[in-house]
A = this chain, B = another copy of it.
Amino acid sequence: MNILLVYAHPEPVSLNGSLKDFAVKRLEDAGHIVQVSDLYAMQWKATLDAADSTNRQAGVRFNPSLDSKHAFENGLQSKDIAIEQEKLLWADAVILQFPLWWFSMPAILKGWVERVYAYGFAYGVGEHSDARWGDRYGEGMLAGKRAMLVVTTGGWESHYSPRGINGPINDILFPIQHGILYYPGFDVLPPFVVYRTGKIDDAGFANTCDALGQRLDSLWQTAPMPFRRQNAGDYDIPELTLRSDIAPDASGFSVHIA
A interface vs B, CB < 8 Å? Answer: 10-11, 13-14, 40, 44, 46-50, 61-65, 99, 101-104, 106-108, 110-111, 113-114, 117, 137, 154, 156, 158-159, 161-168, 171-172, 174-176, 178-180, 198, 230, 235, 238-242, 250-256
Is A107 touching B163 in the complex (CB atoms < 8 A)?
no
Counting every copy of the chain, the complex holds 2
Is A238 touching B156 in the complex (CB atoms < 8 A)?
yes
Measured CB to CB, the closest approach of chain B to A170, in angstroms, equals 10
Q: Which 9 pairs show the lowest CB-CB distances between chains A and B? A: A107-B111, A162-B251, A103-B175, A103-B179, A46-B46, A107-B110, A165-B240, A158-B239, A11-B62
**Which residues of B are found within 8 Å of A65, using beta-carbon distances?**
154, 198
Q: List 23 A-B contacts (CB under 8 A).
A: A10-B49, A10-B64, A11-B64, A13-B61, A14-B61, A40-B49, A46-B46, A46-B108, A46-B111, A102-B175, A106-B110, A107-B110, A156-B239, A159-B239, A161-B241, A162-B251, A163-B241, A164-B239, A167-B179, A167-B252, A171-B171, A171-B174, A252-B253
Choice from B40, B99, B166 contacting A179 with Cβ under 8 Å: B166
Is B108 touching A251 in the complex (CB atoms < 8 A)?
no
